[in-house]
Amino acid sequence: MGEHRKDQSSCCSHDHKGGALINHNAVKEEFFCHFPYAVFSVALALVLVSFVCYNDSPEQTRFAYRLFHNFHFLHLLFAASGTVLMFRRYSSSFWGGILVGFFIPAIFCTISDAFLPYIGGRLMGLDMHFHWCFIKHIGTVLPFLIGGMINGWVMSLHCHSQKIFYSLGFHFAHILVSSLASLLYLISFGFEGWWSKMGIVFLYLILAVLLPCIMSDIVVPIWFATFKLLKK
């Protein structure tokens, strides 16, 4: 019974001392820990988008395009917060936190919200267009990235109980925002009649948002934090 309680408390707590997360078993545990978040987040994203993007009219496509950018920018905010928070648990390096908090979300949010939806659409034979917000909308991207980095730094100063409280809702909100951005990208850049292939979209988006979020929030920040040059 005690062991069962220990397992429950350790799920998503990220208390992997000495960078011990960077091994096959720990990464696998994080995958299964976050998997339910991804399933429910993607399912909820499908429901929410069904209310606002219910046909293939040009007006709906433009609306989805605007919504995609809104959720993508919010995803950058969540990702930068989580990346800096995790890095700070293993390293006190100020400049290391700046570099990690800037580049990791910029890379993995693009992978999750744009690159993987683009690849998924192409695999289904759709005439998808690739759109990289970091190049085309850098003036809007930067405030969300910087705001997320500052937020993550402030969160790292809070007590352990507050961090656990944040963690409970943070993962779900982060993956939900990513799910909405990924789905809206599909709709905005060439996926007409997406509801007719909702099952395929559901399964693909689970992996498209889950793997980059785990890498951005947990694996890569800890990996960089264990570097001797970034540890101090």
> Looking at the domain assignment, is residue 52 inside a domain?
no
pTM listed for this prediction: 0.83
| Domain interval for residue 158 | 59-231
89 is a domain residue: yes
Q: Is residue 8 part of a domain?
A: no
Task: Tell me, yes or no, whether 64 lies in a domain.
Answer: yes
Q: Which of 2-11, 29-38, 162-171, 196-205: highest mean pLDDT?
A: 196-205
User: Does some domain include residue 16?
Assistant: no
At residue 9, the pLDDT reads 44
DSSP code string of 150-209: HHHHHHHTS-HHHHHHHHHHHHHHHHHHHHHHHHHHHHHTT-TTGGGGHHHHHHHHHHHH
- Is 24 domain-assigned? no
Pick the residue with more confidence: 127 or 14?
A: 127
Domain count within the chain: 1
State whether residue 64 is helix, strand or coil: helix
Say if 3 falls within a structural domain.
Answer: no
Q: How many residues does the chain have?
A: 232
- Asked if residue 181 belongs to a domain, the reply is yes
153: pLDDT confidence band, cut at 50, 70 and 90?
A: very high
Residues 74, 34: Cα–Cα separation, whole Å: 20
- The 10 Å Cβ neighbour count of residue 168 is 9
